[in-house]
Amino acid sequence: MNALRVALADDEPLARARLGRLLREAGCEVAAELPDGPSLLTWLKEGHEVDALFLDILMPGLSGLEVMAELADGHECPPVVFVTGFSEHAVRAFEAAAVDYILKPISAERLEKTLARFRQGPIRRRNAGELKSILSGQPRFPVKAGEGHVFLDLKRTTHFEVEEEVVFAYAPAQGQLQRFRTDWTTLAEVEEAFPSAGLIRIQRHLLLRPEAVLGLRPLDGGRAAVRVAEGVDLEVSRSVTPKVKEILGL
């Protein structure tokens, strides 16, 4: 099998150099090491071809996910491996049809597992229509399930709650609302993961998805309670109640 020809983009010089070295030591041909998304796009548009891209997710100019979206405007996108220091982006990475997702600091052993997937056979490149469809799909996120994870659709989630630096997601399962432990530690991380979802902070420890609200009743002192499941009401702070009523059209 010919050496895998790759290009990588990472705005951190030391991380970029380390990844390039590890890829070469693993037998890959590193065609380009670039500092950001725009530089990578320019390089590709010059006619360079690679078997795979290794992209940092958080980069100035264009994120790794945005690079993938830009490539969807072309004919085909090379297989992508995302490399980042932030585990909360994992779901979006896989929704974008990434081949793999590697957390920093990268080890040679972890990288070898990724490269083994390429050695098993050709990985089909995504065409524009497929990639655009995937990138515009319904957001999901991982929750704990035994020793592993399962994925919840955001549209099924009623709200998020943080307790002692652990964020729990609530969603119906087996006929009742259940809570699932996520990998997030703050509600700010949830808001960052889903910036277009319209989530609203109704208490310091509660983050509500307004579309999940089944009803609202007023409480004393200008507060309100919203019902998100049978027998499950969440109290809304006085300062946020007017905004919740407005969102709900009340």
* CATH number for the domain that contains residue 156: 2.40.50.1020
Domain C-terminal end among 90, 109, 135:
135
Length of the chain: 250
Domain of residue 151: give its range: 140-247
Flag whether pLDDT at 56 surpasses 70: yes
pLDDT exceeds cutoff 70 at 232: yes
Q: Are strands 159-163 and 206-208 parallel, antiparallel or unpaired?
A: antiparallel
> Where does residue 216 fall: left (phi above 0), alpha (psi -120 to 50 degrees), or beta otherwise?
beta
pLDDT in tens, 191-214: 888 877 789 999 999 999 998 999
Alpha carbon distance 205, 201 (integer Å): 8
Domains in the chain, number: 2
Q: Does residue 54 surpass a pLDDT of 80? A: yes
Which of 70, 102, 135 lies at the terminal end of a domain, its last residue? 135
Residue that terminates a domain, selected from 104, 135, 166: 135
Alpha-carbon distance of 27 to 108, in angstroms, equals 12
Q: Are residues 54 and 172 in the same domain?
A: no
**82 and 154 co-located in one domain:** no
pTM over 0.75, yes/no:
no
Q: Check whether residue 147 and residue 62 sit in a common domain.
A: no
Judgement on whether residues 50 and 107 belong to the same structural domain of the protein: yes
